[in-house]
Amino acid sequence: MNAAIRFLAAPFRRAHHVRDVNEVFDERLTFGERLADRMAAVGGSWSFIIGFGLFLVAWALLNTVVLVGHAFDPFPFIFLNLMLSMLAALQAPIIMMSQNRQAAKDRLDARLDYETNIRAEAQIANLHDKIDLLLGMAGEPTGHQAGQDRAV
Protein backbone atom coordinates (compact mmCIF):
# COMPACT_ATOMS: atom_id res chain seq x y z
CA MET A 1 0.00 0.00 0.00
CA ASN A 2 2.84 2.42 0.84
CA ALA A 3 4.34 1.88 -2.59
CA ALA A 4 1.02 2.76 -4.21
CA ILE A 5 0.73 5.94 -2.14
CA ARG A 6 4.29 6.97 -3.03
CA PHE A 7 3.55 6.17 -6.69
CA LEU A 8 0.45 8.37 -6.68
CA ALA A 9 1.97 11.19 -4.60
CA ALA A 10 5.20 11.58 -6.64
CA PRO A 11 3.82 14.11 -9.15
CA PHE A 12 2.55 16.30 -6.32
CA ARG A 13 5.94 16.52 -4.66
CA ARG A 14 7.42 18.27 -7.67
CA ALA A 15 7.63 22.01 -7.11
CA HIS A 16 6.22 23.81 -10.12
CA HIS A 17 7.18 27.42 -10.50
CA VAL A 18 4.06 29.53 -10.88
CA ARG A 19 4.76 32.96 -12.30
CA ASP A 20 2.94 36.04 -11.02
CA VAL A 21 1.84 38.01 -14.07
CA ASN A 22 2.22 41.31 -12.21
CA GLU A 23 5.84 40.61 -11.30
CA VAL A 24 6.69 39.31 -14.78
CA PHE A 25 5.17 42.35 -16.41
CA ASP A 26 6.37 45.01 -13.96
CA GLU A 27 10.02 43.94 -14.11
CA ARG A 28 10.11 44.88 -17.81
CA LEU A 29 8.62 48.39 -17.46
CA THR A 30 10.78 51.37 -18.35
CA PHE A 31 10.76 54.64 -16.41
CA GLY A 32 8.55 56.29 -19.05
CA GLU A 33 6.02 53.45 -18.93
CA ARG A 34 5.83 53.59 -15.13
CA LEU A 35 5.42 57.37 -15.32
CA ALA A 36 2.64 57.03 -17.92
CA ASP A 37 0.82 54.50 -15.72
CA ARG A 38 1.12 56.81 -12.72
CA MET A 39 -0.12 59.83 -14.69
CA ALA A 40 -3.07 57.83 -16.05
CA ALA A 41 -3.93 56.68 -12.52
CA VAL A 42 -3.85 60.24 -11.20
CA GLY A 43 -5.67 61.73 -14.22
CA GLY A 44 -8.46 59.18 -13.93
CA SER A 45 -9.16 59.70 -10.24
CA TRP A 46 -11.98 61.58 -8.54
CA SER A 47 -9.48 63.70 -6.62
CA PHE A 48 -8.03 64.95 -9.92
CA ILE A 49 -11.48 65.67 -11.36
CA ILE A 50 -12.62 67.54 -8.25
CA GLY A 51 -9.32 69.42 -7.94
CA PHE A 52 -9.33 70.39 -11.61
CA GLY A 53 -12.98 71.47 -11.35
CA LEU A 54 -12.07 73.72 -8.42
CA PHE A 55 -9.16 75.14 -10.45
CA LEU A 56 -11.52 75.99 -13.33
CA VAL A 57 -14.02 77.68 -10.98
CA ALA A 58 -11.19 79.65 -9.33
CA TRP A 59 -9.87 80.70 -12.76
CA ALA A 60 -13.30 81.90 -13.84
CA LEU A 61 -13.94 83.76 -10.55
CA LEU A 62 -10.50 85.36 -10.62
CA ASN A 63 -10.93 86.63 -14.17
CA THR A 64 -14.56 87.78 -13.87
CA VAL A 65 -15.09 88.91 -10.26
CA VAL A 66 -11.73 89.61 -8.60
CA LEU A 67 -9.81 91.20 -11.49
CA VAL A 68 -12.84 92.84 -13.12
CA GLY A 69 -10.99 95.60 -14.97
CA HIS A 70 -7.56 93.99 -15.32
CA ALA A 71 -8.33 90.34 -16.05
CA PHE A 72 -5.42 88.53 -17.74
CA ASP A 73 -7.88 86.13 -19.43
CA PRO A 74 -11.27 87.85 -19.90
CA PHE A 75 -14.62 86.06 -20.26
CA PRO A 76 -14.31 83.76 -23.25
CA PHE A 77 -11.21 82.47 -21.40
CA ILE A 78 -9.18 81.92 -24.58
CA PHE A 79 -5.93 81.31 -22.68
CA LEU A 80 -7.65 78.74 -20.44
CA ASN A 81 -9.05 77.00 -23.54
CA LEU A 82 -5.54 76.89 -25.04
CA MET A 83 -4.11 75.34 -21.86
CA LEU A 84 -6.94 72.79 -21.67
CA SER A 85 -6.43 71.82 -25.31
CA MET A 86 -2.70 71.33 -24.78
CA LEU A 87 -3.37 69.30 -21.62
CA ALA A 88 -5.83 67.08 -23.50
CA ALA A 89 -3.38 66.69 -26.39
CA LEU A 90 -0.72 65.40 -23.99
CA GLN A 91 -2.97 63.46 -21.63
CA ALA A 92 -4.79 61.38 -24.28
CA PRO A 93 -1.69 59.60 -25.68
CA ILE A 94 -0.37 58.98 -22.17
CA ILE A 95 -3.65 57.33 -21.15
CA MET A 96 -3.68 55.31 -24.39
CA MET A 97 -0.12 54.09 -23.69
CA SER A 98 -1.22 52.94 -20.26
CA GLN A 99 -4.30 51.19 -21.68
CA ASN A 100 -2.20 49.42 -24.33
CA ARG A 101 0.16 48.20 -21.63
CA GLN A 102 -2.78 46.95 -19.55
CA ALA A 103 -4.10 45.06 -22.60
CA ALA A 104 -0.66 43.46 -23.06
CA LYS A 105 -0.66 42.51 -19.37
CA ASP A 106 -4.10 40.93 -19.77
CA ARG A 107 -2.86 38.91 -22.76
CA LEU A 108 0.13 37.68 -20.73
CA ASP A 109 -2.19 36.76 -17.86
CA ALA A 110 -4.44 34.78 -20.23
CA ARG A 111 -1.44 32.95 -21.70
CA LEU A 112 -0.13 32.00 -18.25
CA ASP A 113 -3.62 30.80 -17.26
CA TYR A 114 -3.76 28.70 -20.41
CA GLU A 115 -0.36 27.14 -19.67
CA THR A 116 -1.50 26.33 -16.11
CA ASN A 117 -4.70 24.74 -17.41
CA ILE A 118 -2.75 22.60 -19.89
CA ARG A 119 -0.40 21.39 -17.13
CA ALA A 120 -3.34 20.63 -14.83
CA GLU A 121 -5.12 18.70 -17.58
CA ALA A 122 -1.99 16.64 -18.26
CA GLN A 123 -1.54 15.88 -14.57
CA ILE A 124 -5.18 14.82 -14.22
CA ALA A 125 -4.87 12.53 -17.26
CA ASN A 126 -1.67 11.08 -15.75
CA LEU A 127 -3.48 10.42 -12.46
CA HIS A 128 -6.34 8.72 -14.29
CA ASP A 129 -3.87 6.45 -16.05
CA LYS A 130 -2.15 5.59 -12.76
CA ILE A 131 -5.44 4.85 -11.02
CA ASP A 132 -6.55 2.67 -13.92
CA LEU A 133 -3.21 0.84 -13.74
CA LEU A 134 -3.56 0.30 -9.98
CA LEU A 135 -7.15 -0.90 -10.34
CA GLY A 136 -6.06 -3.23 -13.12
CA MET A 137 -3.26 -4.60 -10.93
CA ALA A 138 -5.79 -5.14 -8.12
CA GLY A 139 -8.07 -7.06 -10.48
CA GLU A 140 -10.87 -4.51 -10.29
CA PRO A 141 -12.44 -3.00 -13.38
CA THR A 142 -11.08 0.45 -14.25
CA GLY A 143 -13.34 3.46 -14.50
CA HIS A 144 -13.38 3.08 -18.27
CA GLN A 145 -14.27 -0.61 -18.10
CA ALA A 146 -16.85 -0.09 -15.35
CA GLY A 147 -18.59 2.49 -17.51
CA GLN A 148 -18.76 -0.05 -20.36
CA ASP A 149 -20.18 -2.73 -18.05
CA ARG A 150 -22.97 -0.41 -16.96
CA ALA A 151 -23.80 0.50 -20.54
CA VAL A 152 -24.26 -3.17 -21.53
SS3 72: coil
20-24, 43-47, 89-93, 111-115: segment of lowest average pLDDT = 20-24
Q: For 74-110, b where at least 16 C-beta lie within 10 A, e where not — what string?
A: eeebeeeeeeeeeeeeeeeebbebbeebeeebeebee
70-102 pLDDT, tens digit each: 899 998 999 999 999 999 999 999 999 999 999
Tell me, yes or no, if the pTM score tops 0.75: no
